[in-house]
Structure 1
Amino acid sequence: MGFGSTAKKLQKVTDYAEKLYERFEKLREEVEEVEQTVEDTNATVADLERELAEQRAILDELAEERGVDVEEAVASVDVGEESDGND
């Protein structure tokens, strides 16, 4: 085998390694974007949970002032069926 064919093979391996490295870098960037999206989503969910807890506390206070049994009201709601808006 001559040096020419060895050089060609080495060049092919080098080209393949460069393409592989480019693909790896692109994948790394995509993973970083997904991680950032997950962090943003976690922060949003935490904010929504906090806001929901605040609203629940307000509703519980209002219900207590008006003598509404919250647990009974919640139990009477059929979660499995959608309302048509005419209830």
Structure 2
Amino acid sequence: MGLGSTAKKIQKVADIAEELYSKVNELKSQLQELRGTVEETNDRVDELDRELAEQRALLEAVAEEQGIDVATVQTDALIDDAEAATDTDADDTA
């Protein structure tokens, strides 16, 4: 009797261990996929940063050629954005 119940307990533990092993392998696979996705996203972001820098340089060159002060335009845009955010915050609290 004692050996039969011990064998059942050992089998139950073995079944649980096998299930956990399967889940760990599944999680490992998901983690590898996630890492790949993160790397691809990082590469895309880097490419977008490079393109944005190129576009910014072109716009600044065109603005300078047209006699537009880029720093003033940027400052005005920041002020407008800050005022719009303040107006939105005031509307949300009302």
- Shared fold by TM > 0.5? yes
RMSD after superposition: 1.4
Segments ≥4 residues shifted beyond 3 Å:
none
Higher RCO (CA-CA < 8 Å; seq separation 6+)? 1
Q: Once the 2 structures are TM-superposed, how far is the Cα of residue 3 of structure 1 from its aligned partner?
A: 2.1
* Corresponding residue of 1:6: 6
The residue type equivalent to 2:81 in the other structure is: V
Deviations 1:33-68 (A, max 9, x none): 111111011000000000000001100110010000
Which of 65, 79, 82 in structure 1 is aligned with 2:81?
Answer: 79
Is 2:41 aligned against 1:49? no
User: What is the distance in 1 between the residues matched to 2:5 and 2:73?
Assistant: 82
User: What is the distance in 2 between the residues matched to 1:43 and 1:79?
Assistant: 30
Q: Secondary structure at the match of 2:6?
A: helix
Q: What is the total number of aligned residue pairs between the two structures?
A: 82
Give the TM-score normalised by the residue count of structure 1. Answer: 0.87
What does 1:15-34 align with in structure 2 at a 5 Å threshold? 15-34=15-34
The unaligned stretches of length 5 or more in structure 1 are 83-87
Is 2:61 aligned against 1:61? yes
Identity, in percent, stands at 50
User: What is the distance in 1 between the residues matched to 2:13 and 2:27?
Assistant: 21
The unaligned stretches of length 5 or more in structure 2 are 86-94
* Corresponding residue of 1:85: none
